[in-house]
Structure formats: structure tokens, C-alpha cells
Amino acid sequence: MAFEGLSEKLNAAFKKLRGKGRLTEADVREGMREVRLALLEADVSYKVVKDFVAQVTDRCVGADVLDSLTPGQQIVKIVNEELTALMGGSNARLTFASKGPTIVMMVGLQGAGKTTNGAKLAGLMRRQFGKRPLLVACDVYRPAAINQLQVVGKQLDIPVFEMGQADPVHIAEEAVKYARDHGNDMVFLDTAGRLHIDEALMDELKAIKAAVKPTEILLVVDAMTGQDAVNAASAFDEALGIDGVLLTKLDGDARGGAALSIRAATGKPIKFVGTGEKLDMIELFHPERMASRILGMGDMLTFIEKAEQQYDEKQAKKLEEKLRKNRLTLTDYLDQMEQLQNMGDLSQIAGMLPGNLGKQLDASQIDEKQMAHTKAIILSMTPLERENPQILNASRKRRIAAGCGLQVVDVNRLLKSFEMLQQLTKSMSKGRFRGIPGMGGM
């Protein structure tokens, strides 16, 4: 997952600061030296790091921080705010056209993830705003590109407009007409990429831009290429003018340098992030949530949004009722685990939970095999036991383990996860997250 190294190093630096009751300016400067190193190691560009650390230090050495009762926590709060600001502060969104279809021109180097993420984005717009998107094959140089777009279009059930190897400018114009005539209110132009930025590529993109006047030019860059992604963003913006960035492959980017530098280096916001190869693995980019994730405070909002997509209202009500009566049973537990599995990649889900909870909810505990074990254990229990887990004493546990061919430790592990889930759902049902470890004291 992204930012792992950075999270760890920043938290180590903050731990030292929090450990001291009183802080001096020298303590802060020493802490900031570690923050600076952590950011440089995360491949954040040098100038961005320099400005960031200067700004944070300025705010942290003020009397109101050093003389406060909890200087360590104040510093974490300041770093959180400044990280958020660094990534653009508020959320940047796609602009929709006020008249006619919204035209989104996807541009970027070859392999950045244009084709896949254009389709993912079209799917997201349909899910979130009920849009009726059209995908357009303007990359006529790679014969496989048209086919690839058709494949992803088919998987998502989104129509694809193509005219073979015709002139890309002409294709774009015809596609917009087609969209108007067929009630497609969003058009995604999948343009050609090159291995390097060259004049021919830019000229073609400029011609398409002049012809169809896109509502939005979205640059797709690969997070794993770090500072090269930042340089590509600057180059495309200078030559063509871009409105925002879709940062792909964040799932594979252990460092996070591009995510942290692009806004400061180019002035253009990251609007979306790609978080995996599957066609629903795209998220709106939220600077404040990303900052919280980096600081190990989790991203409960994204977690809850994902959960909300899975839980229907009736189920949620039933569950809430049980929680209120403190009657969550192991049968419910099995249902819950299945829901969690439906929410997507479990290691990504665990990464959204704050501190300890994320670590406890080890994805390995809920993989396919483990799910089968969980089911077997619960099915070996009597209905009375499933409804009243507190009666499970040592001899009952031994009987259950023998019944499903597993060990007592497996039964105990399951009961521990069950307790954890009770704790989590309790906090969620309150609508506040005070009860969740790791969220307190921030």
C-alpha cells in the first residue's frame, strides 16, 4: 500500500516528540529533520520538501504550540493540515459541461493507465451521477488499443465509439456528434500515448483540443514512476494545458512521492486515484483523507462509503437493532465477514482503518481459506452457542474444534475477531468513531 515507509518514519518522529512532556525549539527542529528525511526518502521533490518543512517548522516553534499542554499532538495536527494543503487542500472535482455532453480528454504517456482508467472513470461517473458515458478510441496507432478499449467497455457495459485507423481529430468530432444524437452526456476520449513526450504527440493532442474544446483535459500518470510522473505533469501542462491529474497505480507505489509533489510542483490538482487493476478500483482523491492515511489515522470516511455501498438499509436497521440490544451473534458475524469481503481488496480496506484496528484486521484473517474455516467453525456450533458466544467454555471449544477438524486456537482466534467486529460495528452504529483505538487523542 502507498505511503507505508513514509507513515512509519513520520510516526517514529512524532512518537519521540509525543514522548516528551515539554518541547523546546531544538526538539522541534530535530523532529523536523526526521520529517524532512522521511519525505525525501518517499521521493518527494527536493523543493517541495524544503518549502513544506520550512512552513511546518514556522508554525510549530510558535509559543502557542510549545507552551500548550500537548505540544506533540499539536505538531501532528499541524503536519496533518500542511500535508492536506500540500496535496491541494479541498477536493478537486470534474467539471460538467453546462450545455451538451461533458467531454473529458484523457492524455498521458503510454502505459500510464489511460485506457483502463478512462473506462474506470466512466464507470464511476455512471455509478455516482447516473451519467451515460461513451468511450472513444482516438488512439489509432496501436491496433491493440482499440480492441483493449472495447474489452473494458464490454466488461463495464459502456458503449465504445471507434472508426478504425481514421484521423483522431475526425474521430473525436464524430464521436461528440454521435453522443449528442444518442443521449450520451459524457464522452471520454482515449488519446494516443508515446513512450516519451514528443512534438508529434503534442501537436495531435492540441488539434483534438482545438476541434472539440474538451470540458476537461485529464492527465493520467503512473504513481510508481515517482518524480518522472511529476515531470510528465509539468511538460503536458506547459504544452497542452491540463485541468487535473488522475494518478494511477497508487496501490503499487510504496513511497508516495508523486502524490505529494504533483500539486505543489505543477499547480494542478490530483482529482482521482487508481488503486488496482480491477475496473472499479478508482477513487476520488481527498487530500485530507490521504493526509490522515499517511499519518496512520486511517480513512474512516472512505471505509464507510464503501460499507454503505454494500449494506442495504433493511440489513443495516436489523444490525443496528441487534447492536443496540448488544445481541450481535456469530451468525451475524459470518454475514458481516462476507460483507467485508464484498467491499473489495481486504488489504486496502485494512489500510483505511486507523492505527491498531487496521493492523488487527489482518487481511490474512479474512482470505478465502480463512473464510472457509470460519464458516466450518461456526457451523460446528449448536444454534444456542451461535446466539450466545459467551457460553463457549474450554470443553465446548474442544468439541467444536474436533467437529470441524481444526484446533482450539482457531476457535479462539475467531472469537477474538468476533469481539473486534463487535467493537467496530458498535462504534459505526454510533455514527462516531470515538470508540475506535487510534482515533483518540488526535
Among candidates 291, 275, 292, 295, which has minimal Cα distance to 283?
275
The answer to whether 386 is a known ligand-binding residue is no
To ligand GDP, the closest distance from the beta carbon of 274 in angstroms equals: 3
Per DSSP bridges, beta strands 186-190 and 160-161 are unpaired
Answer whether 396's CB lies under 8 Å from 377's CB. no
Task: Please pick, from the candidates 168, 226, 257, 274, the single residue that binds ligand GDP as defined by CB under 6 A.
Answer: 274
Task: Please pick, from the candidates 7, 57, 102, 115, the single residue that binds ligand GDP as defined by CB under 6 A.
Answer: 115
Helix (H) or strand (E) holding 283: strand 282-284
The answer to whether 331 is a known ligand-binding residue is no
The answer to whether 66 is a known ligand-binding residue is no
Chain center to CA of 211: 34
Task: Please pick, from the candidates 71, 101, 113, 226, the single residue that binds ligand GDP as defined by CB under 6 A.
Answer: 113
The answer to whether 112 is a known ligand-binding residue is yes
Task: Please pick, from the candidates 8, 238, 277, 308, the single residue that binds ligand GDP as defined by CB under 6 A.
Answer: 277
**Which grid coordinates belong to 128?**
455516482
Any contact of residue 255 with ligand GDP (CB under 6 A)?
A: no
Answer whether 106's CB lies under 8 Å from 118's CB. yes
DSSP state of 250: G
**What's the longest Cα–Cα distance across the chain?**
77
Torsion of CA 215, 220, 223, 228, to 10 degrees: -110
**Which grid coordinates belong to 116?**
483502463
Any contact of residue 248 with ligand GDP (CB under 6 A)?
A: yes
Q: What angle do CA 219, 223, 224 make, to 5 degrees?
A: 135
Any contact of residue 116 with ligand GDP (CB under 6 A)?
A: yes
Q: At which residue does the C-alpha cell 505540544 appear?
A: 71
Whose Cβ is closer to ligand GDP: residue 193's or residue 389's? 193
Answer whether 35's CB lies under 8 Å from 41's CB. no
Whose Cβ is closer to ligand GDP: residue 261's or residue 348's? 348
Any contact of residue 438 with ligand GDP (CB under 6 A)?
A: no
The answer to whether 299 is a known ligand-binding residue is no
The answer to whether 154 is a known ligand-binding residue is no
Residue whose Cβ sits closest to ligand GDP: 274
DSSP state of 256: -
Any contact of residue 51 with ligand GDP (CB under 6 A)?
A: no
Task: Please pick, from the candidates 80, 110, 422, 423, the single residue that binds ligand GDP as defined by CB under 6 A.
Answer: 110
To ligand GDP, the closest distance from the beta carbon of 108 in angstroms equals: 6
Any contact of residue 354 with ligand GDP (CB under 6 A)?
A: no
Tell me, residue by residue from 155 to 194, as one string, x for binding to ligand GDP by CB under 6 A and - for no binding.
Answer: --------------------------------------x-
To ligand GDP, the closest distance from the beta carbon of 106 in angstroms equals: 8
The answer to whether 58 is a known ligand-binding residue is no
What is each CA distance from 96 to 99, 101, 133, 211, 216, in whole angstroms?
9, 8, 12, 18, 8
Any contact of residue 251 with ligand GDP (CB under 6 A)?
A: yes
DSSP 3-state of 102: strand
Per this entry, what is the length of the chain?
442
Task: Please pick, from the candidates 31, 72, 108, 153, the single residue that binds ligand GDP as defined by CB under 6 A.
Answer: 108
**Which grid coordinates belong to 246?**
488522475
To ligand GDP, the closest distance from the beta carbon of 325 in angstroms equals: 42
Binding site for ligand GDP (CB under 6 A): 108, 110-117, 193, 248-249, 251-252, 274-277, 281
Q: Which residues are annotated as a binding site for GTP?
A: 108-115, 190-194, 248-251
